[in-house]
Amino acid sequence: MLNIKALAVGLAVAAVSAAPAGATVFNIFSDFDGGLTNFTNTVNASGGTMVSDVLPTSGDGVRANYTITRPNGNAVSLNGLYTLSGSSPTRQTSGGVISINPAFGPGHGADPIASINSGIKFDFSSYTPLGGIGTGINALAFEVGDWGTCCQNPVSNIYMSFDGTSVITLGSSDGNNNVFLTNNGAGVFVAAFNDATLYTQVYFWGDGLGEVLNAGGTVRYAQIGQGELVPVETPEPLSLALFGTALAGLGLVRRRAA
């Protein structure tokens, strides 16, 4: 049975919404390759410079320009590359990942903020690049693995927040395997922009209690001037393939009718 909601989520390259004070929020939810293209093109079109950091497969979350911890400040451990469940051909994350198995609260969309402490916090309070516009970032992207394999009950959501209170829902799964986007495997590329200001802390977490969830791979980030965000949407291969299939089906129906 075709899951219309899941299909809509899976095909969504990005979502754009108005933010306070004339700013713009732009979210990307896609496969690894299409998502990276969208993120790169949007940063470039907005006059930003993307920084890429491949996470190692061991160690803690202390990086050159930022740190990753639990939201409560506890340390995290970097693990090996994650092989995307169901991927064919087999695909792995581009770098190490951090386990953020959802916990706490009612989960499943009932109270998003209640599960935040099972996730991770990126702290950019020491990032003031030469030639930049200040301290912090307002564009962040990375890879997510093993999401959507179970435990929807009825949904499993993934979230991001630039300040710990304003919650952005990046994706929602309401059926096993319905968000297997990368090589038909359990991997999605997520990103968020908010050009209202620069942020020193960004949070990411999920609320599908009982499921496995990993985040990391390559962390990409940038600074964009206030009000200067130019979202760039790039059609992903999955969307184009399904669109072509739909057109072919329409043609078949017309030939039969004739």
Question: What pLDDT is stored for residue 233 in this prediction?
Answer: 83
Model confidence band, residue 134 (pLDDT cutoffs 50, 70, 90): very high
- Residue 237, pLDDT > 60, answer no
pTM above threshold 0.75: yes
Question: What pLDDT is stored for residue 235 in this prediction?
Answer: 64
What mean pLDDT is reported for the chain?
Answer: 86
Model confidence band, residue 258 (pLDDT cutoffs 50, 70, 90): very low
In the block, tokens 């693995």 appear at 145
Q: How many CB atoms lie within 10 A of CB 238?
A: 17
What percent of the chain has pLDDT above 70?
82
**Shortest CA distance to 18 belongs to which of 178, 229, 191?**
229
Question: What pLDDT is stored for residue 22 in this prediction?
Answer: 60
pLDDT in tens, 161-194: 998 889 999 999 999 999 999 999 999 999 999 9
pLDDT in tens, 65-112: 999 999 999 999 999 999 999 999 999 999 999 999 999 999 999 999
**Shortest CA distance to 229 belongs to which of 254, 258, 192?**
192
Bridge partners for 51 per DSSP: 221
- Residue 231, pLDDT > 70, answer yes
- Residue 250, pLDDT > 70, answer no
Question: What pLDDT is stored for residue 164 in this prediction?
Answer: 87
C-beta of residue 70 within 8 angstroms of C-beta of residue 76:
yes
pLDDT in tens, 17-49: 444 456 799 999 999 999 999 999 999 999 999
Q: Residue 82 carries which DSSP code?
A: P
C-beta of residue 101 within 8 angstroms of C-beta of residue 213:
yes
Residue 35: strand, helix, or coil: helix
Average the pLDDT over 221-233 and give the result. 95
Domain extent listing, the chain: 4-232
H-type alpha helices, the chain: 4-11, 32-45, 237-257
